[in-house]
Amino acid sequence: MEQTLSIIKPDAVKKGVIGKIIDRFESNGLRIAAMKKVQLSEQDAAEFYAVHKERPFFGELVEFMTSGPVVVMVLEGENAVAKNRELMGATNPKEAAPGTIRADFAESIDANAVHGSDSLENAKIEIAFFFAKREIV
Ligand SMILES: Nc1ncnc2c1ncn2[C@@H]1O[C@H](COP(=O)(O)OP(=O)(O)OP(=O)(O)O)[C@@H](O)[C@H]1O
């Protein structure tokens, strides 16, 4: 079964909507195969988002992702990568379709509530970044 990585970002954790976001996944056929709450260091965030190193918002992104704890999960289900992206909605919450996680819980393009792997290949890399094999059950 396909797996993808999801992160509930610091803005959503601070708002107290962890449970509401997890409910979207579980109600839509995505099972939680692994989960933990972590405080990312600057080094963690920079390494995780290394693909965005040259983007103008990289510094802000690292600062934001380390501004408080995050909840990291492995979601499993049919077409999990695409399904999760669909449930999340567009990167900019103002452009996110009604009923998506970002439309309902995100404030802005930087504080946008959730991250989801954008391809199966990246999902594998991102899952291995956070979880040991024995933690995924
Ligand atoms: N213009 C911007 N200003 C500030 N932050 C941005 C901007 N564009 C993107 N970001 C941040 O960088 C993250 C990664 O950007 P990307 O374009 O890969 O979006 P995404 O794939 O929808 O998001 P994610 O990788 O978090 O799932 C976004 O989720 C957002 O938090």
ipTM (interface predicted TM) = 0.90
**pLDDT of the residue at 88:** 98
Please tell me the total count of domains within the chain: 1
Instruction: Point out the ligand 1 atom lying closest to the alpha carbon of residue 64.
Output: 31
Helices (H), 1-137: 10-15, 18-27, 42-48, 58-65, 80-88, 101-105, 120-130
pTM of the complete model: 0.96
- Choosing from 11, 22, 33, 115, the catalytic residue is 115
User: Could you tell which of 5, 8, 110 is best to mutate to test the pocket of ligand 1, judged by most ligand atoms within 8 Å of the CB?
Assistant: 110
**CATH number for the domain including 127?**
3.30.70.141
Query: What is the predicted pLDDT for the residue at 91?
Result: 97
Q: pLDDT per position in the chain (137 positions), as tens?
A: 999 999 999 999 999 999 999 999 999 999 999 999 999 999 999 999 999 999 999 999 999 999 999 999 999 999 999 999 999 999 999 999 999 999 999 999 999 999 999 999 999 999 999 999 999 99
Q: Is 52 a catalytic residue?
A: no
Ligand 1 contact, 108 CB (< 6 A): no
Determine if residue 91 is labeled as part of a ligand binding site.
yes
Which pLDDT score, from 0 to 100, does residue 123 have? Answer: 98
Q: Do 100 and 26 touch, CB atoms closer than 8 A?
A: no
Across the chain, mean pLDDT equals 97
Structural domain boundaries, residue 20: 2-135
Q: Is the CB of 116 under 6 A from ligand 1?
A: yes
Is 102 near ligand 1, meaning CB less than 6 Å away? no
**What's the burial of 80, exposed, middle or buried (CB within 10 Å: 0-12/13-18/19+)?**
buried
